[in-house]
């Protein structure tokens, strides 16, 4: 949980694989890296067994770059495709039982605060739509009601992609899948509204066809979760296998879905706005300059 864990042990330097040496010497630890520098530094994510062209992988890759302090971050996940890639990164990963990721993260983030005090240690939950909205729903909602200070990211592929294509709470109404041949009969769950009702300080939707936006949203969510309260990001990460999207059309699909039902939305609580502005110098939440007095009718 510090820069010390990304160093070589004395005498072992020459025995380490090239990927590890590159990561220690040219990785993002202790530096500020951005999406625009991608391709020029060694990323914390390594080779992983996820399907070719998976949009979820792209999102995870961008998320790993967006973490403000990767050396002080722990990711928590649960069963689902995402864990296949998240676990292949040089960031400690905790893998709970199915659905208990927000419970595990609650304890973890409280424990880290006891152990390290004010020193920021970020806990980020990344789980699929099944882990967040179906099986882990109760723990997710309770962690939000308790205002636990960590970030929850839903990798929403709108299907149980890992087990053959069953419908999930986040599947769209009418969607026909391999294991839902009659089509889903219920609406997609409105997790965004639930997050707001449960008191999340930051709620956003994002699609990975805009890497800079993914970066900015994740940075804000992680920073707000340090002090203010729970934060929630819902990311559309299509399953090109279960929805039969040709791999070279994955970004086209992301664009279509973004225009259809995944428009970028961002909710920031007043407390979070104030925190980001005062603590981290964000300018976007400052009050807009007032219009000239003469333009306002009825004012002298």
Residue among 33, 58, 79, 241 that touches other proteins (CB under 8 A): 58
Under the binding rule (CB under 8 A), the answer on residue 47 touching other proteins is: yes
Q: Which is nearer to other proteins, 38 or 175 (CB)?
A: 38
CB of 283 to other proteins, least distance (A): 24
Q: How far is CA 55 from CA 7, 96, 281, in A?
A: 32, 23, 32
186 by Cβ neighbours in 10 Å (0-12 / 13-18 / 19+) ranks as exposed
| Footprint of other proteins on 59-118 (CB under 8 A) | 61-62, 64
At its nearest, how many Å lie between other proteins and the CB of residue 275?
Answer: 29
What kind and span of H or E run contains 111? helix 101-116
227 contributes a contact to other proteins by CB under 8 A:
no
When the beta carbons of 35 and 180 are compared against other proteins, the nearer one is: 35
How crowded is residue 288: how many other Cβ atoms within 10 Å of its Cβ?
5
Closest residue by Cα to residue 245 from 255, 230, 235, 260: 255
Q: Which of 6, 33, 54, 63 binds other proteins (CB under 8 A)?
A: 54
Residues near 148 by beta carbon (within 8 Å), at least 6 away in sequence? 102, 105, 106, 109, 110, 229, 230
Least distance from C-beta 55 to other proteins, angstroms? 7
Q: What is the DSSP letter of 16?
A: S
Closest approach, Cβ 83 to other proteins, in A, equals 16
Footprint on residues 1-20 left by other proteins (CB under 8 A): 18-19
CB of 96: closest distance to other proteins in angstroms? 24
8 Å CB contact between 3 and 27? no
- CA 219 to CA 65: how far, in whole Å? 10
Least separation in angstroms between residue 50's CB and other proteins is 8
Within positions 242 to 271, which residues make up the interface with other proteins, using CB under 8 A? 247-252
Chosen residue from 45, 127, 177, 198 binding other proteins by CB under 8 A: 45
Q: What is the dihedral of CA 243, 245, 250, 253, to 10 degrees?
A: -70
Residues binding other proteins: number (CB under 8 A): 36
Which residues contribute to the site for other proteins (CB under 8 A)?
Answer: 18-19, 22, 25-26, 35-43, 45-48, 50, 52-55, 57-58, 61-62, 64, 209, 211, 247-252
């Amino acid at each position: 949980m510090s820069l010390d864990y990304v160093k070589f042990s004395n005498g072992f330097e020459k025995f380490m694989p090239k990927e590890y040496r590159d990561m220690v010497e040219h990785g993002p630890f202790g530096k500020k890296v951005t999406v625009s520098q991608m391709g020029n530094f060694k990323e914390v994510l390594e080779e992983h067994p996820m399907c070719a062209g998976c949009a979820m992988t792209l999102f995870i890759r961008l998320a790993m770059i967006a973490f403000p302090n990767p050396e002080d971050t722990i990711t928590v996940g649960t069963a689902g495709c995402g864990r296949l890639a998240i676990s292949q990164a040089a960031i400690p990963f905790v893998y709970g039982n199915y659905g208990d990721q927000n419970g595990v993260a609650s304890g973890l983030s409280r424990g880290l605060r006891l152990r390290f005090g004010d020193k920021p240690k970020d806990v980020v939950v990344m789980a699929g739509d099944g882990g967040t909205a179906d099986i882990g729903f109760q723990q997710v909602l309770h962690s939000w009601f308790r205002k636990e200070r960590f970030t929850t990211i839903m990798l929403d592929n709108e299907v149980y992609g890992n087990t053959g294509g069953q419908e999930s709470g986040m599947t769209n109404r009418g969607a026909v899948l391999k294991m839902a041949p009659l089509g889903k009969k219920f609406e997609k769950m409105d997790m965004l509204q639930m997050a707001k009702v449960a008191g999340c300080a930051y709620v956003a939707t994002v699609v990975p066809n805009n890497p800079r936006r993914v970066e900015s949203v994740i940075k804000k969510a992680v920073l707000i979760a340090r002090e203010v309260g729970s934060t929630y990001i819902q990311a559309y990460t299509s399953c090109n296998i279960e929805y039969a999207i040709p791999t070279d059309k994955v970004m086209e699909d992301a664009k279509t879905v973004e225009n259809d039902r995944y428009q970028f939305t961002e909710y920031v609580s007043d407390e979070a706005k104030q925190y980001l502005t005062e603590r981290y110098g964000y300018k976007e939440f400052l009050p807009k300059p007032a219009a000239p007095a003469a333009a306002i009718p009825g004012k002298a």
